[in-house]
Amino acid sequence: MANNDLIIQENQMEESPQSEDIIRVSHLTKLYGANKQEAAKMAEAGAGKNEIFEKTGVTMALWDVSFSVKKNSIFVIIGLSGSGKSTLVRTLNMLHKPTSGKVIFEDSKIGEFGKKDLINYRRDKISMVFQNFGLMSHRDVMGNVAYGLEVKGVSRVERERKAAEMIEMVGLKGLEHSSINDLSGGMKQRVGIARALANDPEVLLMDEPFSALDPLVRKDMQFELLSIQRKLKKTVIFITHDIDEAFKLGDQVAIMRDGRLIQIGTPEEMSAHPADDYVREFIGSADKTKVLTVKHIMMTPSCVVRLKDSPQFAIQEMKRNGTSTAYVVDHEIKLQGIVNIEGAVRSSRERLSLAEVQLHDVETTTPDTLISDIMPVAAKAKYPLAVLGEDGRLLGIVTKASVLSSML
């Protein structure tokens, strides 16, 4: 996303906030150090984080960051160490108070909250899951998950009922009274997620929650998070430094560098249209097959015939297009099957219709299917995969070559 696009987005966000946005961040800046005024002037002139620190002693953790997060979505913030992503997520619940700018939850500016309102906001509206789990070793699983409800004054019966529900949801049923010290890293992180969800928050903040887990457990936790989020319809703001994790989880992804927001977009948009060389290099190692969908690699079939066409016409079309197969459609362009040259010739000799010789074992897919999901099917398919719309209309085809080239 270009700078002008960001400016337009910011202006629209402030002038006409969308009801579907649960959090809006406007021109957020966080500076550490005494000479903030001079540092701000340098930042406005385009100076980088290191140059500002060398000349002023001020650390520019965030500079002029603006974005909005839609309700019931997963918004991923990604960047290298020192990019400002963890500082940013901590301004959303005022663990870090910004130097300037606004954080708006629904219609409330949380920077203007009094002590009581801020406590209620953290208890009821927003919860956080940390990388190091943040669990209490002297409490069992039930005690950890129910802790937030206990602080809120919920009765023991009710809080344990709610905690048990969350424990089951994260896959730890039967371990309610297990010691935290007896759990694996993945189990501990499940407890952390259950504890955050027990308060029924509207927003879940997750600061690199899976980075300490081994790859297999991490993959399982990513799937669990997606499942839980879709079921409970919570808004999740997720911090990571792993581009594959960001693209797997994020409905929207924001890339940060040295305290500045560089680009916001869907994984597909970012892969197809990186804002600059930094973004292009950053996402270069991502597995594109887990981001791009079939619509990015499908092509128009070279040979299509209608069900009512003669075998002779089908043979002529195959010859004209230099192919040995033709896709057969009805008058609404809905796929009926495929006819190969052998079938067409037999149909002509034996005076059969195309319907009598067409093959029906054609593998199909949809435009929005991830390329990674069709790879096993494409590898075994005798013919290119037919790409169909919701109404069964033939939209295109996917060849083995196009699937393999998408991996490069």
Characterize the bridge pairing of strands 325-329 and 235-240: unpaired
Q: Which pLDDT value is given to residue 269?
A: 87
Can you tell me the distance from the alpha carbon of 101 to that of 112, in angstroms, rounded to the nearest whole number? 12
Instruction: Please say if the pLDDT value at position 221 is more than 60.
Output: yes
pLDDT of residue 407: 63
What is the Cα–Cα distance from 252 to 146, expressed in whole angstroms?
A: 31
Contact 288, 407 (CB under 8 A): yes
**Predicted confidence (pLDDT) at residue 112 exceeds the cutoff of 90:** yes
Q: Is 90 exceeded by the pLDDT of residue 177?
A: yes
Answer yes or no: are the C-beta atoms of 277 and 381 closer than 8 Å: no
Average pLDDT (125-135) is 82
Task: Specify the higher pLDDT residue, 222 or 24.
Answer: 24
The percent of residues in the chain predicted with pLDDT above 90, rounded, is 57
pLDDT at site 11: 43
Q: State the average pLDDT over residues 194-212.
A: 89
φ/ψ of residue 313, rounded to 5: -65, -40
- Determine the residue type at 295: K
CA pair distance 145, 162, nearest whole angstrom: 9
Cβ of 34: how many Cβ atoms within 10 Å?
11
DSSP string, 74-102: EEEEE--TTSSHHHHHHHTTTSS--SEEE
89-101: burial string, b at 16+ Cβ within 10 Å, e else: bbbbbbebebbbb
Q: What domains does the chain contain, in order, with CATH numbers?
A: 3-286 (3.40.50.300), 295-405 (3.10.580.10)
What is the 3 state secondary structure string of 4-29? Answer: HHHHHHHHHHHHCCCCCEEEEEEEEE
Give me the mean pLDDT over the 126-139 stretch.
83
Q: What is the rounded average pLDDT for all residues in the chain?
A: 88
Which value, in Å, is the radius of gyration of the alpha carbons in the chain?
Answer: 27
Helix (H, G, I), strand (E, B) or coil at 171: coil
Q: What is the mean pLDDT of residues 364-373?
A: 89
φ, ψ for residue 273 (rounded to 5)?
-140, 70
Inter-residue contact 275 to 1 (CB < 8 Å): yes
d(CA 274, CA 402): 22
pLDDT band at residue 285 under the 50/70/90 scheme: low
E-strand stretches of 314-383: 325-329, 335-340, 364-365
- pTM for the model stands at 0.71
Q: Which residue has the tokens 């002693």?
A: 57
Burial of 116 (C-beta count, 10 Å sphere; 0-12/13-18/19+): exposed
Q: Which two tokens stand for residue 48?
A: 């980088």
The two most distant CA atoms of the chain are separated, in Å, by 91
pLDDT at 408: 59
In this prediction, residue 12 carries a pLDDT of 42
Tally of CB atoms within 10 A around 294: 25
* Residue of higher predicted confidence among 6 and 400: 400
186-202: pLDDT as tens digits: 888 899 899 989 888 99
Q: Do the bridges between strand 260-265 and strand 304-306 make them parallel or antiparallel, or are there none, so unpaired?
A: unpaired
Closest CA to 74 of 269, 238, 265, 283: 238
Helix or strand run (H / E) with residue 247? helix 243-249
Write the pLDDT tens digit of every residue in 57-103: 999 999 999 999 999 999 999 998 889 999 999 999 999 999 999 99
| Main-chain phi, psi angles of 10, to 5 degrees | -65, -45
Q: pLDDT tens for residues 7-64?
A: 334 444 444 444 599 999 999 999 999 999 999 999 999 999 999 999 999 999 999 9
